Amino acid sequence: MNEDLHKMLDQKVKQYNRIEFIDKDPICIPHLYTQQQDIEIAAFFAAIFAWGNRTTIINKSKELLQRMDHAPYTFCTQHQEKDLKKLLGFVHRTFNDNDLLYCIEFFKKHYSHHASLETAFFETKQEKNQLHSIEEALIHFQSNFFSLEDAPARTKKHIASPLSGSTCKRLNMFLRWMVRKDKQGVDFGIWKNISPASLIMPIDVHVARVSRALGMVHRTQTDWQTALELTNYCRTLDPKDPVKYDFALFSLGVIEKFN
């Protein structure tokens, strides 16, 4: 382990894992809510929209929530057919209203049987000290999400799975938000059936570039195995909370333009 690198990354975590920085990050969207189900749904969409310019991601997330009358859980579970007209015409990059309507249909069915979206990933509570496999959870979630009869094929590109080799960056980020909890109040930590130790680093082009420049990753392509390689390195720095280094690596790449 490179102690100088460890010290630098810990300093960057302290610098950026702060509530003052969330207004420019998509995580500000679920922070608009206090009810768990509202947080889950708002976080899900903010995470799924999270590619491209962060200001655009935040603005499109707020537009969607406005169309849902700023009550995503109530809208998803209690809407009438006529209410869905409010969603028509919504587009964010390649995500359109067909994708959105299917997501709403899934949420309505899921929440009719479950109190939390957590069970869409993790159906059973693990024994004490036994960690969930995030890889298995992501595979299960994609299968579960597209289990409805009218699941459109085009929507599948928005819900990644390790089976395709994807880094699953957006879903791993969503899981970070839901599972991690510390005294800084950025991540929510409202899901209790999984340990932060088992989370996988959200890795995008910025995190991949910085982690390679720092010698944390040697794999040349950016895929699921790269996410595992980076996570395993971060576990040498903090075995109990490896994904806290997402704050450092992402901010080094996006805010500080580290090369």
The three-class DSSP label of residue 95 is strand
pLDDT for res 258: 81
Distance CA 28, CA 32 (A): 7
pLDDT for res 52: 87
pLDDT at 66 over 90: yes
Contact of 139 with 163, CB cutoff 8 Å: yes
Mean pLDDT of the chain: 94
Calculate mean pLDDT across residues 116-120: 95
pLDDT digits (tens, 9 = 90+) for 160-208: 999 999 999 999 999 999 999 999 999 999 998 889 999 999 999 999 9
Tell me the domain boundaries of the chain: 3-254
Give which of 140, 77, 137, 141 is closest to 112, Cα–Cα. 77
pLDDT at 129 over 50: no
> With left for phi above 0 and alpha for psi between -120 and 50, is residue 202 left, alpha or beta?
beta
Give percent of the chain above pLDDT 70. 96
- The amino acid sitting at 113 is H
Alpha-carbon torsion 35, 158, 180, 120, what sign? positive
pLDDT for res 259: 72
Distance CA 216, CA 218 (A): 7
